[in-house]
Amino acid sequence: MSSLKDKIDFGRLPQHVAVIMDGNGRWAKEQGKMRIFGHQNGVAAVRAVSEACAELGVKYLTLYAFSTENWNRSKIEVDALMKLLSKTIAEEVKTLNDNNIRLNAIGDLTRLPKYNYDALMKAIEDTKNNDRMTLTLCLSYSGRWEITHAVRSLAEKVLSGELKLEQIDENCFSNFLNTKDMPDPELLIRTSGEERISNFLLWQLAYSEFYFTDKFWPDFNKEDLYEAIVNYQNR
């Protein structure tokens, strides 16, 4: 059976792909289940897309996993999400190492429950020497939070005399962002039919190509990723 993978030009791969994984709750509702059921099934899509990106040669994959606004969801859903996150991270370390993928995380990580934070830091430490691809989870993250945090850090440097106002330019500012160690995404994928960026990587997406699909995240698979990359390359 033919695959869209055969249509990909490996000489023009996006170096960095970012994904807004949307539609877990609506997918679960269609199944007559609770929202957490959708999040549980979304884990398989994370695994499939991560493995596919690594196999293709994409160097950076960044997933919008939990926004600062998500803290406003019901306590039951947030608690269930945190437990799922902790369990998934612990279970996936072997898969990450088998695929030579390094785990990274950005966002206001101090807001995570301690058991989540500890599991995340352990997984990051256990995969730090992998160099095939960097998988970044955006947790307790939003673009406005990140920019505000960067501005505050810049202001502190100026007040302390470590930085002069005239030294601040785009490159300088970028070095105060959570993503300072990675290139900006060339391709943003959003699932579920919504066509907005929802406070995600606001600075970094300035020149990215956007790809929207009606598929809910739990249904998104490797072929869907290949389709997004072919679409990106045909523009």
- Any idea which residues carry the catalytic annotation? 22, 70
Contact 84, 112 (CB under 8 A): no
- Cα separation values, 59 from 1, 11, 41, 52, 185, Å: 27, 13, 25, 11, 11
Q: How many Cα atoms occupy the beta-carbon half-sphere of 103 within 13 Å?
A: 23
Nearest-angstrom CA–CA distance, 214 and 94: 32
